[in-house]
A and B are shown apart, each in its own frame.
Chain A
Amino acid sequence: MAKLESFSSRWGLILAGLGMAVGTGNMWRFPRIAAENGGAAFLIPWFIFLFIWSIPLLIAEFSIGRGTRRGAVGAFATLTQGRFAWMGGFVAVCTVMILFYYSVVTGWTLRYLVAAATGEFHTADPKAFWDAAASGWQAAGYHVVSALIGGWIIQRGVVKGIEAANKVLVPALFVLLVVSAIRAVTLPGAERGLDFLFNPDLSSLANYKTWLEALTQSAWSTGAGWGLILTFGIYLKKREDVVLHSATIGFGDNSASLLAGLAMLPVVFAILSLEDAHAALQAGNEGLMFIWVPQLFERMAGGSFMLPLFFLALVCAALSSLIAMIELASRILMDGGMARGKAVKLVVAAIIVVGMPSALDLTIFKNQDWVWGVGLMISGLFISLVVTMYGSTKFRKEFVNVTPGGWHVGPWFEYVLKYLIPAQFVIMFGWWMYTAATVYDPAGWWNPDPFNHTLSVGTCIVQWSVALGLLMFYNKRIAAASTRTPIEEEQE
């Protein structure tokens, strides 16, 4: 029987997990959302949700992957005797749909790194530059390059590909963030940014929106519920402590977010007037990073040296997350009997083709980001449900608490997965749908047209229903295909 590849060391595994979790969202979403929702008052619920959403789901995912030795679909099929393979299918569809447009995002970061390194921003108009880079043939070209780089890494396998890449990308990302943060906090006027991030406006804690934004940020940022850690769990040795590693990844992701906040907000507030600083923070993720950041660094002492470093950090963050998603997609094909090389080629071809509309049209990009971003909350719910269906006590004893001398979880873990995560899902999901229906598109919230009602409830319902309908209809076939190959033995 073929031997299953495993992460060669604890460090390799932790760096891969951190690379997966720390992405562009840590750098462009966290500082913005934290600053807009009460600064330090936001950080309190954000820290709490690490323990009642993210870490428990990471533990569950690691354990499912290691216990079943199958990707997202095959793991669900194994745990439910094939009945709910469609749920694993939905987890996979969400992440793969994100992968298709995340390659476009990675392409943007590459484009901006090139521009920063060659000094293009000295003369370019930031808005016009972004418009040209965001969508069209330039975006398409960099999207293809990103997919090829990601595919090249993943076809090399777990140790020579994922582990080797993350051993460079993740330390580089942390070092670059530390350097950027040091420069930012030593700017004259930086304390205004620090006040904005850390001065607690405790009245914000009474606002339900602060809590919901904090939960959403933790859920999206740590990669819990995406099926990615489940995929990495396949390559985990039996002696590895999933509880300790999940906590390390969760805390590491939070630490990277705070570093990004320290690198970003002091610059915004030191260089801009208060009014402009707020405008920059309200310009959305891409607006802040791709229109404002180049202008800010141009006006900052030492900025032309720092800007390429900053965008290099962004490339590291994006690429290390992209490869995790490519591995998830490839692993599902490999579970169906395909060799790694062929599976990766097929996935890369799919990324290039299916991601292309998002590269050519920003409206499609935004629609996909909305639909599958919110879809991830359903993925998180499905992971908690599959544990409950298997039997949460049995799962805890047979899948989680199996490492001799490792950290074991108590019955609290069962309560969190069984009750707390479904409850958090209902509230978070309901709030996003309510926001879409009352704020984003009150007149056409029901309309599924992705072009004219990009952020509607209707477009989500239709796209999820198509995915869920097909997955349920073909459930038996999917379950059989995803568990076709014999489970490979762990390498010693």
Chain B
Amino acid sequence: MNGRTLVMMTLMLGLNWGGFAFLLWYGARRAKR
């Protein structure tokens, strides 16, 4: 795997999965309040 693939894979998975995980976490936290 070349370096560019690794950078883009990290970026895309980070943005989409990270965003999804954050929204789930944020929603759960706010629901508890």
Q: Which residues of A contact B (CB under 8 A)?
A: 10, 14, 39-40, 43, 47, 191, 194-195, 197-200, 241, 244-245, 247-248, 251-252, 254-255, 258, 405
Q: A194-B1, A199-B5 are in contact. Are A43 and B23 (CB under 8 A)?
A: no
User: Does the CB pair A251–B19 fall under 8 Å?
Assistant: yes
A245-B20 Cα distance, complex, nearest whole Å: 11
A258-B26 Cα distance, complex, nearest whole Å: 22
A248-B26 Cα distance, complex, nearest whole Å: 10
A47-B2 Cα distance, complex, nearest whole Å: 23
CB within 8 Å of A: which of B1-33? 1-2, 4-6, 8-9, 12-13, 15-17, 19-20, 23-24, 26-28, 30-31
User: Does the CB pair A40–B24 fall under 8 Å?
Assistant: no
User: Does the CB pair A251–B16 fall under 8 Å?
Assistant: yes
User: Does the CB pair A244–B27 fall under 8 Å?
Assistant: yes
Q: A10-B27, A244-B23, A251-B19 are in contact. Are A191 and B1 (CB under 8 A)?
A: yes
User: Does the CB pair A200–B4 fall under 8 Å?
Assistant: yes
A185 to chain B, nearest CB (A): 10
A258's contact among B1, B16, B23, B24, by CB below 8 Å, is which? B16
Q: Which residues of B contact A (CB under 8 A)?
A: 1-2, 4-6, 8-9, 12-13, 15-17, 19-20, 23-24, 26-28, 30-31
User: Does the CB pair A200–B16 fall under 8 Å?
Assistant: no
B16's contact among A40, A47, A198, A245, by CB below 8 Å, is which? A47
B17's contact among A43, A199, A248, A255, by CB below 8 Å, is which? A255
Residues of A within 8 A of B13 (CB): 258
Residues of A within 8 A of B5 (CB): 40, 191, 194-195, 198-199
A194's contact among B9, B15, B28, by CB below 8 Å, is which? B9
Main secondary structure of the interface of A (DSSP, over half): helix
Residues of B within 8 A of A248 (CB): 20, 23-24, 27
Residues of B within 8 A of A251 (CB): 16, 19-20, 23
Most buried by B among A43, A198, A248: A198
User: Does the CB pair A255–B16 fall under 8 Å?
Assistant: yes
Q: A248-B23, A258-B17 are in contact. Are A43 and B12 (CB under 8 A)?
A: yes
B26's contact among A200, A244, A255, by CB below 8 Å, is which? A244
Of all chain A residues, which has the CB nearest B15?
A47
User: Does the CB pair A199–B4 fall under 8 Å?
Assistant: yes
User: Does the CB pair A200–B20 fall under 8 Å?
Assistant: no
Residues of A within 8 A of B2 (CB): 195, 199
A198's contact among B8, B15, B19, B20, by CB below 8 Å, is which? B8
Of all chain B residues, which has the CB nearest A261?
B12
